[in-house]
Structure 1
């Protein structure tokens, strides 16, 4: 890669008809909705995509169908995070065969690895990768961070192409940007959409933002304004992003409410079904009515 990956790369929800059946028509509509909104790539099997909760069979089907539908129009990033090293490698190889362009891995999330163990793990994993790999820093779920020293060492691993940071720690993020300056092909992407405008204004390459599933054009325009250092327009669009996040993500009482809210919204937009992978269940009618009301206020449905 000569240029870093940049822009808005939505972490796709996984449209489901039941706990282990893909909503294929919904997936096709979602992909067209996002590409039509101007996104710079698609990220499947991440947190928003409920990746760790899906069967390996369904993960492979999702990869195949996403790559076929996308047909090379934008890069496709595939989450390969797993507690099994071998399963991560297997999924990466399947992704390459299907036509994906990148893989993404967070630290294994059951036995917490110490920094020296994590460095060896990443070195071993990169050696097996058929595609460029992003490190995915998600300590809130994995309980382990990719420490800055490890990221600095990853600069010497040609197979690593950047970091997606979902730590919500902007000091850490700024340090990532400083590290990334040492390699022209490295991307530093931020997960939380509430921080994307700030991150891009200060040198980040873009966002992997869940809300872009619902309104991709808004997030793309915010990124473009921030990348152009248009502060006035960035503030306006950031305020709209904050309004969307504050409206949709606050329905429900549990951490799963963010994914439930996005899926419910997509269902109300007529894009895909909103079933969840176990152990979660989709919103019931009271929450669904609240999401509908808030989508109306956001101007996304009439």
Structure 2
């Protein structure tokens, strides 16, 4: 398995019309904007893309449009997230059929699995496909974590090529890296946008960064400058990005990401209910953050 997940990869938002339907022309606009700004991959149907809101037919079409518009310029990672093993496998099969480069699979939500059950969940999914698989730990959302020891076990499966750590716990991410560091085919991606630079210093291969939707060039600079040997420049870019990530706490995720794009003139619409808009006070605070980042005037 030669696929290496690396760089800064936005979990691309799903633009919506006022009626709550997917706005495919704006999705194409977003894809080109993000690639032009230098991101290293695209990840539709992640948490930031409100994956939980769409049926399988819409899921398939979003992936198809993303692959068509991307046209091989960067890798496309498909989110395949479901509470059951068979449901996740069904989504992985759709990803396989439409031709994504890799899939990200979130831990099951709601069900509180044991680590052995998690191992079997991912082992069976990996067995069902030849696609590269990235484990996805978002314990703050799911209340389920993949322990470092379980990640170490799973890393031995050939087509499980990495893990995204959105716990925000640097010790956890560091343990993922430490326990798999001798496996050149397994990679750790940061999922907390405030820790991208720190992860790179520890040996992470990149990040799946929601704020890269709003600030793609700044986020990509964290990785690019680090790889060029400009560690100070990478850290400066990280510090520039941090206020935006902290601002995401103002609303129900991903409301701040969508509002930030609207403020930049990209008409991505609102989140699906029950997620509401930011208050006027919150919008004003976000506006100042974006102005300080020189993303809007």
Short-chain TM bin: over 0.9
Contact 2:81/2:91 (CA < 8 Å) preserved in 1? no
Higher relative contact order (CA 8 A, sep 6+): 1
- Corresponding residue of 1:59: 59
Greater Cα offset, 18-27 or 129-138: 18-27
Deviations 1:89-118 (CA, angstroms, capped at 9, x unpaired): 121111122121111111111211111111
Residue 276 (str. 1) matches residue 271 (str. 2): yes
- Corresponding residue of 2:248: 249
- Corresponding residue of 2:147: 147
Q: Distance in 1 between matches of 2:99 and 2:46?
A: 18
Residue 208 (str. 1) matches residue 208 (str. 2): yes
The change in CA–CA distance for 1:124 and 1:19 in structure 2 (over 3 A counts) is farther
Residue 301 (str. 1) matches residue 272 (str. 2): no
Q: Distance in 1 between matches of 2:76 and 2:19?
A: 24
Deviations 1:144-186 (CA, angstroms, capped at 9, x unpaired): 1112222111122112011000111111111111233232122
- Corresponding residue of 1:95: 95
Greater Cα offset, 10-19 or 159-168: 10-19
Contact 1:23/1:272 (CA < 8 Å) preserved in 2? no
- Corresponding residue of 1:131: 131
State the 1:285 CA deviation: 4.9
Unaligned runs of 5+ residues in structure 2 are none
Q: Please, what is the CA RMSD of the aligned residues?
A: 1.9
State the 1:88 CA deviation: 1.5
State the 1:121 CA deviation: 1.6
The change in CA–CA distance for 1:142 and 1:243 in structure 2 (over 3 A counts) is closer
Contact 2:134/2:161 (CA < 8 Å) preserved in 1? yes
The change in CA–CA distance for 1:112 and 1:19 in structure 2 (over 3 A counts) is farther
Alignment of 1:51-200 (within 5 A): 51-200=51-200
State the 1:20 CA deviation: 4.5
State the 1:73 CA deviation: 1.1
Greater Cα offset, 118-127 or 179-188: 179-188
State the 1:242 CA deviation: 1.5
Q: Distance in 1 between matches of 2:19 and 2:274?
A: 9
Contact 1:45/1:79 (CA < 8 Å) preserved in 2? yes
Greater Cα offset, 235-244 or 211-220: 235-244
Q: Distance in 2 between matches of 1:235 and 1:147?
A: 28
State the 1:275 CA deviation: 1.7
State the 1:32 CA deviation: 0.7
Contact 1:194/1:241 (CA < 8 Å) preserved in 2? yes
State the 1:200 CA deviation: 0.4
What secondary structure does 2:254 align onto? helix
Q: Distance in 1 between matches of 2:263 and 2:20?
A: 22
- Corresponding residue of 2:41: 41
Deviations 1:43-88 (CA, angstroms, capped at 9, x unpaired): 1111111112323332222111111111111111111110132221
Tell me the matched-pair count: 297
State the 1:9 CA deviation: 0.6
Greater Cα offset, 228-237 or 196-205: 228-237
Contact 1:93/1:130 (CA < 8 Å) preserved in 2? no
Q: Distance in 2 between matches of 1:129 and 1:219?
A: 31
Deviations 1:233-278 (CA, angstroms, capped at 9, x unpaired): 12321221123334x425x3x4x1x411110111122223222123
